[in-house]
């Protein structure tokens, strides 16, 4: 990974993805909208977004940044890189966009304590590695930008993988890591 990549998610009446449903998993949800538009690049290059009819529609905008890895060991990173497919594959016609905020208690932990919970106790990487290469993913950090969420997580897969993805979600939500999740919204999407 080189420079951090800013990414903007705008829910409204425009965009590649149709929003099928929005579920408030923990805490407040997000307002209903018809479509999700994903733009890569700095916000100042996106002036076309403001003042257009797209922003007059009910909706919301969340911004995040694709950043460096915080927790992965070299061995984990090598395996992830080898097994992870690219976004935008033909056939990956459904997606989940899951914004997440973790608690003050999480952020007050030291880096080694967080890694301990994230992987040694909760096995986030080990569990979810089984979903590769069926699921293509991208993690966006948004805590430092002052937005309402700490993370904007994005997953793309084929309709045949929906049940497996739901199983992974259930598993992750039963881990110690998720005790620290104080807001989580699940946005289910499809192409078309």
Gap between the Cα atoms of 14 and 133, Å rounded: 29
Number of residues that bind ligand HEM (CB under 6 A): 23
Which residue of 5, 87, 109, 132 would you call a contact of ligand HEM, by CB under 6 A? Answer: 132
Two structure tokens written together for 170: 């259930």
**Which residue number, 55 or 143, has a Cβ lying nearer to ligand HEM?**
143
**Biggest CA pair distance of the chain:** 48
Tell the smallest beta-carbon distance from residue 80 to ligand HEM (Å).
Answer: 6
Choose one: 15-23, 32-40, 49-57, 148-156; the region binding ligand HEM (CB under 6 A).
148-156
Could you say whether residue 5 binds ligand HEM (CB under 6 A)? no
62-101 positions binding ligand HEM, by CB under 6 A:
69-72, 80, 98, 100
Which residue of 10, 101, 131, 161 would you call a contact of ligand HEM, by CB under 6 A? Answer: 131
**Which residue number, 14 or 98, has a Cβ lying nearer to ligand HEM?**
98
Which distant-in-sequence residues (6+ apart) come within 8 Å of 74 by Cβ? Answer: none
Q: By CB neighbour count within 10 A (0-12 exposed, 13-18 middle, 19+ buried), where does 31 fall?
A: exposed
Gap between the Cα atoms of 143 and 39, Å rounded: 19
**Which residue number, 124 or 188, has a Cβ lying nearer to ligand HEM?**
124
Name which of 72, 68, 66, 59 is nearest 30 in CA terms: 59
Taking residue 100's Cβ as centre, other Cβ atoms within 10 Å add up to 22
Interface ranges with ligand HEM (CB under 6 A) = 69-72, 80, 98, 100, 102, 124-125, 128-129, 131-132, 135, 137, 139, 151, 153, 155, 168-169, 172
């Amino acid at each position: 990974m080189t420079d951090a990549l800013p990414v903007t998610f705008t829910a409204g009446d425009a965009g590649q993805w149709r929003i099928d449903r929005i579920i408030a998993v923990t805490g407040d949800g997000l307002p209903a909208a018809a479509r999700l538009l994903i733009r890569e690049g700095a916000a100042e290059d996106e002036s076309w977004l403001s003042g257009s009819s797209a922003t007059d529609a009910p909706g919301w905008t969340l911004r995040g940044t694709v950043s460096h890895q915080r927790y992965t060991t070299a061995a984990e990173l090598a395996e992830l890189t080898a097994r992870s497919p690219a976004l935008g594959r033909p056939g990956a016609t459904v997606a989940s966009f899951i914004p997440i905020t973790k608690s003050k208690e999480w952020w007050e932990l030291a880096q080694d304590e967080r890694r301990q919970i994230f992987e040694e106790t909760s096995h986030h990487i080990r569990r979810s590695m089984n979903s590769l290469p069926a699921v293509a993913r991208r993690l966006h950090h948004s805590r430092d930008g002052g937005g309402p969420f700490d993370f904007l997580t994005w997953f793309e897969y084929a309709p045949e993988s929906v049940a497996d993805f739901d199983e992974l979600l259930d598993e992750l939500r039963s881990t110690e890591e998720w005790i620290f999740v104080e807001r989580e919204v699940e946005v289910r999407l499809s192409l078309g």
